[in-house]
Chains A and B, each alone.
Chain A
């Protein structure tokens, strides 16, 4: 087996040094009744060539965006990733390192995470960010728990414009703790009233920017209401590219910003791994979950970085920790950070402009289709449209024409018949004029 260096001669020598007759003897503590009897019910091992062939065949059974036009978003966005990023990610010193517990031999990881924390804080307009969580949905649950610790309250108000997975994961977490979730109805028109529902029990309100249905809203007034009531405002960002163009949540008065960074550097990967982002006001940092990197000096007085404020974490605080998270999304944070570095201020801003321009063009063309209505007045690179017939069969029929046209909202909200005809549609920089032509032509056929 190509991954196993020991030879039979080695094994014999080692058993002798140990003083055991066989490897079986080393398993003497395992009760006889629990030992595996007979061969494992798994196939024989394969050569590299054979594994590759098998998995390539499996992968080829998927319809791959890029091979076909793709207008899917709803929390996962297709962007071009510069070629150098993946090659750098494969460097073994990044790829095969553990969490940087030994800072003297982990300055590479620690420095890129410090840079990542800074980039996330900058684009969200917040003071500090952590070194990542699992994904945006779990970050939402962590934000709810954090807000409850900060405010010593238990009511969590979820906007109807928040991604349904974020809502569901937060509700699941709440069910098993003392938190009480109040989730507003899905809000495709962006008209919900959150302010009237904030009271003296509210720990936080969680909203999204751009909203799940596309709307761009200034949450400054909501932030003021939260502050007056002693609640925290949590703003979720599922598409961080938007922050290259729009007012950041920090400038609106957000207390906590969460989101998913997979748009930058990470890629789609059928939705996982994601990259959980969390940025907060500095005064709340001791209630923040997740790892934090801090600057310090070494024994020679040279600048360096370490994991810090670890007493918040499970390996020290155990049952009193801010979270149980241990392994997070280190390599995805590196991918994100690299992509931000490669883009820089000019590239990030231009990328955002290009996304928005593509989406505006798409909205104009869709709006001209008979029976199709764009629901959001303002948006970034994604918006909801009302179709003249149920969205799911439309999307299926378009897929049969090898076009990934959009995401039916009923996939998230199957119990809401009024959303049956609503579809989310996104256009990033990867969408070409030809893709748009194909989409419009396809929809004309399918909707007629």
Chain B
């Protein structure tokens, strides 16, 4: 069964049978505006929970993407590096950033589920 979780920094992580997929949320993609450049981590890189994993740039802003969990990068989405606009079109689908094998799956329990994340968004000043 797929587990979907969210961070305060607007990353999502879906976890299924030992492999997790990470991306940025629809809210984050909307806040950034047109994304023009994405710097993805290298395959094989080990990431700590909360550590910098990627960089997303719009014309007027550069934002870091923090890893929602600890583990090792196993795949990256080259398509979004070539066509960054895909993240604006489908941030929580085809616009995923990287896949990772988790070293500490228990970390996910500290993250928000869909309902909690939506409630969290309502608390933010738009």
Contacts and interface: CB of A to CB of B under 8 A. Distances in A.
* A touching B, CB within 8 angstroms: yes
Interface string A311-323: 1000011001000
B117 to A, nearest CB: 27
A317 B59 CA distance: 12
A341 B91 CA distance: 47
B61 interface: yes
Contacts of A118: none
B126 interface: no
Nearest to A315: B60
The binding surface of chain A is classed by DSSP as: helix
Nearest to A317: B62
The binding surface of chain B is classed by DSSP as: strand
A173 interface: no
A316 B55 CA distance: 13
Interface in B65-104: none
Interface residues of A, number: 6
A310 interface: yes
Contacts of B57: 311
A134 B73 CA distance: 41
Greatest chain A CB density within 10 A among B57, B58, B60 is at: B57
A310 B59 CA distance: 7
A286 B60 CA distance: 15
Greatest chain B CB density within 10 A among A286, A311, A316, A317 is at: A311
Interface in B7-55: 37
Contacts of A320: 62
Nearest to B61: A316
Contacts of B37: 286, 311
A316 B60 CA distance: 7
Contacts of A286: 37
A317 B55 CA distance: 11
Nearest to A321: B62
Interface string A273-315: 0000000000000100000000000000000000000110000
B34 to A, nearest CB: 13
Contacts of A317: 62
Contacts of B59: 310-311
A310 B57 CA distance: 10
A333 B59 CA distance: 25
B59 to A, nearest CB: 7
Nearest to B56: A311
Contacts of A310: 59-60
A354 B61 CA distance: 49
Interface of A: 286, 310-311, 316-317, 320
15 contacts: A286-B37, A310-B59, A310-B60, A311-B37, A311-B57, A311-B58, A311-B59, A311-B60, A311-B61, A311-B62, A316-B60, A316-B61, A316-B62, A317-B62, A320-B62
Given A286-B37, A311-B57, 6 more contacts: A310-B59, A311-B37, A311-B59, A316-B61, A316-B62, A320-B62
